[in-house]
């Protein structure tokens, strides 16, 4: 019984872990190499508008991880 419980816990955890990640693709399209990330089509509405606006307010500006030679890069 305990073994079954552990199995179910692992299985369910794995299922949620997989569904929480978007799928990524590397394709050749019209001769061009393209990489993509696809969201889950069945996801729910997510946070409320108020929650999203709060998140946007608190968001930090994005930085390219490497942009310029030397230590003096200024991410945009």
Partner 1 sequence: MSIYRWLVGLAVAVAMSTVAAAEDNPQPLIAGNPAVAPLKWVGLLMFQNAKNETFSCTAQFIAPRVLLTAAHCVQDNQTGEWYDTNKMYFFLQYQNDNASDIYKVICTGHLAGYAPKIAANATDDQKEQAFEDAMQYDYAMILVNHDSITGHMKVDTEWLGKHPAAVQIGYPGAIEGGMIVQRDPGVLALSLSRPNEVILMHANPNMTQGTSGGAWIANFTNGEAQGNNVIVGVTSFGNPSWPGITFGPYFRQDTYGSLFDYVSKGCPK
The length of the chain in residues reads 76
Cα–Cα distances (Å) from 38 to 19, 22, 47, 49, in that order, read: 12, 6, 19, 23
Q: Which is nearer to partner 1, 12 or 40 (CB)?
A: 40
Subset of residues 8 to 67 that bind partner 1, contact rule: CB under 8 A: 20-22, 24-27, 29-41, 43, 46, 49, 52-53, 55-67
Q: Which is nearer to partner 1, 3 or 16 (CB)?
A: 16
Cα–Cα distance for residue pair 71/32, rounded to 1 Å: 33
User: Please, what is the minimum distance in Å from the beta carbon of residue 12 to partner 1?
Assistant: 19
């Amino acid at each position: 019984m305990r073994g079954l419980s552990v199995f179910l816990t692992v299985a369910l955890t794995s299922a949620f872990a997989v569904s929480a990640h978007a799928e990524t693709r590397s394709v050749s399209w019209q001769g061009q190499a393209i990489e993509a990330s696809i969201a889950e089509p069945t996801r729910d509405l997510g946070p409320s508008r108020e929650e999203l606006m709060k998140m946007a307010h608190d968001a930090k500006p994005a930085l390219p991880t490497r942009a310029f030679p030397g230590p003096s890069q200024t991410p945009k």
